[in-house]
């Protein structure tokens, strides 16, 4: 069911500063910021030869990233994103196995304009998992 690793997401308290750090210190190619109001975040992607790193900061006061940063003020790894061929089939299979899909269980449009779902971290060894249909 799982395809390749699409990205690893890191929550940051200051997206502009983190973006500059990756560009200047690590010489990385970083995309322009993209606001995703439906998810309550602003993101940039660091392009790597084999995957991407997503840096995300809260967008608005009720952002789920805000709660994460309240517990981890300097930021940290937030989630990993795996690609799947059919997000609805993956969701149904996972739910049948007892996994919890966050939100209303229906895919939302993610940063790459593709359907995404998030799986409860308590069902996956403390790691929030995002699935993205390719």
H/E segment holding residue 89: helix 87-96
- Say if CB 8 and CB 77 are below 8 A apart: yes
Q: Exposed/middle/buried for 51, CB within 10 Å: 0-12, 13-18, 19+?
A: middle
Q: Which of 54, 57, 130, 132 is catalytic?
A: 130
Active site residue 130: yes
Active centre residues (catalytic): 130
């Amino acid at each position: 069911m799982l395809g390749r690793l699409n990205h690893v997401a890191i929550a940051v308290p200051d997206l502009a500063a983190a973006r500059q750090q990756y560009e200047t210190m690590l010489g990385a190619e970083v995309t322009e910021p993209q606001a995703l109001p439906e998810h309550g975040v602003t993101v940039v992607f660091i392009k790597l030869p084999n995957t991407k790193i997503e840096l995300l900061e809260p967008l608005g006061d009720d952002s789920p990233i805000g709660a994460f940063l309240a517990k981890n003020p300097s930021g940290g790894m937030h989630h990993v994103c795996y690609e799947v061929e059919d997000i609805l089939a993956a969701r149904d299979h996972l739910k049948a196995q007892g996994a919890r899909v966050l939100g209303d269980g229906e895919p939302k449009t993610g940063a790459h304009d593709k359907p995404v779902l998030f799986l409860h971290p308590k069902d996956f060894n403390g790691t929030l998992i995002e699935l993205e249909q390719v």
